[in-house]
């Protein structure tokens, strides 16, 4: 199955790259996920993937960010994540959030075809040329029918009864049809500046992901896009929802956490290899992120 865009690989839930998680396979690029926060994860860091993702919050609360929109999701909400859209979810202290998600590639539904449904709806959605609402609440129009269609597709995928492959495709297409008809996916074209911004952001996130162990400056990153330092800092915060320095620290801390969990290498060595040239600063940032020292983290995880 051909892919419309080549995406960078992603390791685990590292925020700087595309996921290296297999959402199904080449013959059936669909998967479902049942998550309980904080048991499944405490924070799904900022990331993106080429599949579309639809999530139903079953119970509880969680802070979400999809694209440039940040909001508190609650029980009943349906979260829409278009392809190649940065998104994250974060635990709220004392809250347990339960959700079910379907993640599917639009090529499975025929985005690479030459018919009208592909050219008018599926390919524009795949390439980010359409506007998509990121949250549907219980009192929004057509909520009940959209929720029922989502649960029907989820049940079909889970049950895998005879001919489920055909039924699943039918139900996912019907779900998208409802979203289009209700206006949650609209044919209002994304303005060229939006598409350019997305490409610029992807290029700088990819660069950070490739070079996080190295010394990086704001001036260096700004020059990649031809921006001044002040404009770049404003652009990054507006697009990602945090400062560039904080984002780089997030990437480095998560890489260090992976190494602490999967290897017996010394903490100082891991800190240096993750891009920190000051162990005290590394320990400070690690404690802020995980609420414990690197050694305590390793003891808990191993």
Q: How far apart are CA 104 and CA 268, in angstroms?
A: 41
In a shared domain, residues 54 and 175: yes
Q: Are residues 72 and 140 in the same domain?
A: yes
Residues 179 and 251 occupy one common structural domain = no
Query: Higher model confidence: residue 278 or residue 240?
Result: 278
Tell me, yes or no, whether 191 lies in a domain.
no
In a domain, residue 206? The reply is no
In a domain, 15, yes or no: no
- The residues, any chain, with a CB within 8 Å of residue 121's CB and separated by 6 or more, are 176, 180
Note down the domain range covering 220.
Answer: 215-301
- Residue 89 to residues 8, 141, 162: CA-CA distances in angstroms? 21, 25, 35
List beta partners, residue 80: 54
Structure confidence at residue 293 (pLDDT): 92
- What percent of the chain is predicted at pLDDT more than 90? 61
Cα–Cα–Cα angle for 264, 266, 270, nearest 5°?
95
**74 domain-assigned:** yes
DSSP the chain: ---SS------TT-TTSB--S-SS-SS--EEEEEEEETTS-SEEEEEB-SSEEEEEEEESEEEEEETTEEEEEETT-EEEE-TT--EEEEPPTT--EEEEEEEE-GGGGTTTSSSHHIIIIIHHHHTT-SEE-SEE-TTSTTHHHHHHHHHHHHHHHHH--TTHHHHHHHHHHHHHHHHHHTTSEE-PPPPHHHHHHHHHHHHHHHHHHHHTTS---HHHHHHHHT--HHHHHHHHHHHHSS-HHHHHHHHHHHHHHHHHHH----HHHHHHHTT-S-HHHHHHHHHHHHSS-HHHHHHHH-
CB contact at 8 A, 10 and 51: no
Do 181 and 80 fall into the same domain? yes
pLDDT digits (tens, 9 = 90+) for 19-31: 445 577 888 999 9
Spatial distance between the Cα atoms of 16 and 83, rounded to a whole number of angstroms: 16
Per residue in 235-263, pLDDT (tens digit) is 998 888 788 998 899 899 989 988 998 99
Closest CA to 20 of 28, 12, 32, 31: 12
Asked if the structure places residue 17 within a domain, the reply is no
Domain CATH for 235:
1.10.10.60
**More confident site: 150 or 203:** 150
Looking at the structure, do residues 55 and 141 belong to the same domain, yes or no? yes
Q: Give the total number of structural domains in the chain.
A: 2
When pLDDT is averaged across residues 103-108 and rounded to a whole number, the result is 96
Is 10 inside a domain boundary? no
Question: Quick one: 229 and 272 in the same domain?
Answer: yes
State whether 178 and 223 are in the same domain: no
Q: Are both 169 and 44 inside the same structural domain? A: yes
Interaxial angle between packed helices 244-262 and 192-211, expressed in degrees from 0 to 180 and rounded to the nearest 10: 40
Q: Which of 167, 186, 205 is the last residue of a domain?
A: 186
Quote the mean pLDDT of the chain.
87
Residue 285 lies in a domain: yes
Q: Are 174 and 149 a contacting pair, CB within 8 Å?
A: yes
Confidence at 40, pLDDT banded by 50, 70, 90: confident
What is the spatial distance between Cα 288 and Cα 256, in angstroms, rounded to a whole number?
14
Same domain, 35 and 95: yes
Contact 232, 218 (CB under 8 A): yes
Q: Which pair of structure tokens corresponds to residue 60?
A: 């509880």
Domain identity same for 85 and 176: yes
- Residues 53 and 66 sit within 8 Å (Cβ to Cβ): no
| Domain identity same for 161 and 239 | no
CATH code, domain with 58: 2.60.120.280
Contact 77, 150 (CB under 8 A): no
Residues 135 and 268 in one domain: no
* 125, part of any domain: yes
pLDDT above 80: residue 272: yes
């Amino acid at each position: 199955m051909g892919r419309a865009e080549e995406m960078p690989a992603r390791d685990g839930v590292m925020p700087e790259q595309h996921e290296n998680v297999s959402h199904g396979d080449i013959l059936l690029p669909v998967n479902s996920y049942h998550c309980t926060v904080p048991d499944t994860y405490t924070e799904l860091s900022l990331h993106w993937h080429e599949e579309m993702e639809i999530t139903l919050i079953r119970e509880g609360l969680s802070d979400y960010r999809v694209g440039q929109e940040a909001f508190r999701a609650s029980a009943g909400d349906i979260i829409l994540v278009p392809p190649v859209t940065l998104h994250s979810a974060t635990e709220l202290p004392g809250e347990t959030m339960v959700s079910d998600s379907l993640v599917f590639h639009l090529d499975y539904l025929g985005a690479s075809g030459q018919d009208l449904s592909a050219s008018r709806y599926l390919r524009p959605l795949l390439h980010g040329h359409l506007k998509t609402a990121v949250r549907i609440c219980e009192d929004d129009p057509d909520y009940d029918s959209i929720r029922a269609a989502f649960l029907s597709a989820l049940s079909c995928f889970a049950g895998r009864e005879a001919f489920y492959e055909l039924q699943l495709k039918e139900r996912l297409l019907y779900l998208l049809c409802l979203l289009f008809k209700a206006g949650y996916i609209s044919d209002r074209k994304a303005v060229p500046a939006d598409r350019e911004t997305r490409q610029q952001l992807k290029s700088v996130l990819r660069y950070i992901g490739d070079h996080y162990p190295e010394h990086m400056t704001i001036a260096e990153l700004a020059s990649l896009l031809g921006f001044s330092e002040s404009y770049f800092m404003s652009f990054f915060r507006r697009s990602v929802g945090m400062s560039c320095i904080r984002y780089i620290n997030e990437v480095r801390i998560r890489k260090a956490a992976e190494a602490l969990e999967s290897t017996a290498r010394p903490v100082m060595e891991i800190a240096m290899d993750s891009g920190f040239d000051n162990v005290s600063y590394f320990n400070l940032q690690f404690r802020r992120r995980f609420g414990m020292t690197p050694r305590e983290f390793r003891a808990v995880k191993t």
